[in-house]
Amino acid sequence: MTLVIRSYRKDDQSAVSNLFVDTVQAIPLSDYTQDQLDAWAPKDSVGGIDWDKRIHPGNGYVILLKDRLAAFGTIDQNGYLDFLYVHPKHQRQKLATYLFTRMELEAEELKLAKIYTYASITAKPFFEKMGFRTIRENWIERNGVRFMNWYMEKKM
Ligand SMILES: CC(C)(COP(=O)(O)OP(=O)(O)OC[C@H]1O[C@@H](n2cnc3c(N)ncnc32)[C@H](O)[C@@H]1OP(=O)(O)O)[C@@H](O)C(=O)NCCC(=O)NCCS
């Protein structure tokens, strides 16, 4: 299968927002309730995210499989990893590992001291596998619904 990993482009935005909603909505209900998933990624408003603010060619990477978006992620110049989402059809095929490896390379080039993220319950085992430490539980409120994630970091 042809796999392309490249920087995010503005014309990826609609595919990225659709993948975000599809991926969050497929998260097991053992991790988050349906109300929490709906608040995290509302189906009717492209995820309710200001995409122009959160992902741009300077901070985002995408993976395409046969020309279709399969995964995306962002990391900023301070080492903050905001998004990492792999379409449910393509999970456990190492796509997040490829994206994270690319991000880690960038962090090394920038001589950053650490990469940090607020990992979902679902993503915690992945970040542990990548060498992150769990620092603390974190609670957020989105669209009036409270839910928890984990503040995690990896020293470089
Ligand atoms: C978390 C996520 C990005 C992982 O993507 P992925 O491409 O499936 O991950 P990889 O295939 O690269 O996984 C590498 C390793 O991480 C660990 N891992 C990944 N997903 C796991 C899971 N659901 N349960 C346990 N371990 C997991 C495994 O050790 C895996 O290696 P293995 O498959 O050989 O056992 C993906 O599950 C996802 O998009 N989840 C929903 C959205 C989300 O919560 N994103 C994070 C927001 S902070």
In a domain, 48, yes or no: yes
Q: Is 73 within 8 Å of 83 (Cβ atoms)? A: yes
Question: Is 128 a domain residue?
Answer: no
Q: What share of the chain is helix, strand, coil (3-state, %, to 5)?
A: 35, 35, 30
* Mutational test site, ligand 1, from 25, 37, 91, max ligand atoms within 8 Å of CB: 91
String of b and e for 94-131 (b: at least 16 CB within 10 Å)?
ebbebbbebbbebbeeeebeebbbebbebbbebbeebe
Domain tally for the chain? 1
Q: Across residues 58-75, what is the average pLDDT? A: 97
Kindly indicate the confidence band of residue 46, based on its pLDDT and cuts at 50, 70 and 90. confident
Is 17 contained in some domain?
Answer: yes
> What percentage of the chain has pLDDT greater than the value 70?
99
- The pLDDT-based confidence of 47 (bands split at 50, 70, 90) is low
Atom of ligand 1 nearest to the CA of 86: 39
152 CB within 6 A, ligand 1: no
Q: Mean pLDDT throughout 74-102?
A: 98
Residue minimizing CA distance to atom 34 of ligand 1:
92
- The answer to whether residue 28 is domain-embedded is yes
- Is the minimum distance from the CB of 81 to ligand 1 under 6 angstroms? no
d(CA 155, CA 117): 12
Parent domain of 84? 3-112
Domain annotation covers residue 152? no
**In this structure, is residue 130 part of a structural domain?**
no
- CATH code, domain with 88: 3.40.630.30
